[in-house]
Amino acid sequence: QSLFEQIGGEAAVNTAVDIFYRKVLADHRINRFFDNVDMEQQAAKQKAFLTMAFGGPNSYTGADMRNAHARLVKMGLDDSHFDAVMEHLGGTLKELNVPDNLIEQVAAIAESTRNDVLGR
């Protein structure tokens, strides 16, 4: 069974989107990056984010991650912001009672995108 399936597949992603998004938008360290983002598309993007982090089917490439965040890097996106998102990802999964060993695997996947997201 894939990591995506072990966590609960698409149903788990849908539940996680709400929790994760609430945490991110409430966090003053990072919510400015979401200011001018099309809100209608946000749910889909959060879903894509979490599906990717769960090792699921929508596998984004590094180039996509680089492009998707290039505008944010110009706004000052750095390691501290990336760390904050990682924190919310872990916190969301904890709230959903995902086992620690699976949370570690999710964190490793998200972590592997750091340099692309930060454009370096």
Residues found near ligand HEM in the complex (CB under 6 A): 30, 33-34, 37, 45, 48-49, 52-53, 60, 68-69, 71-72, 77, 81-82, 85, 110, 113, 117
Cα angle for residues 109, 14, 7 (degrees, 5° grid)? 50
Q: Which residue is nearest to ligand HEM (CB)?
A: 68
Q: Closest separation between CB of residue 16 and ligand HEM, Å?
A: 13
Cβ proximity to ligand HEM: between 6 and 27 the closer is 27
What 3-state DSSP class applies to 95?
helix
Q: How far apart are CA 17 and CA 115, in angstroms?
A: 24
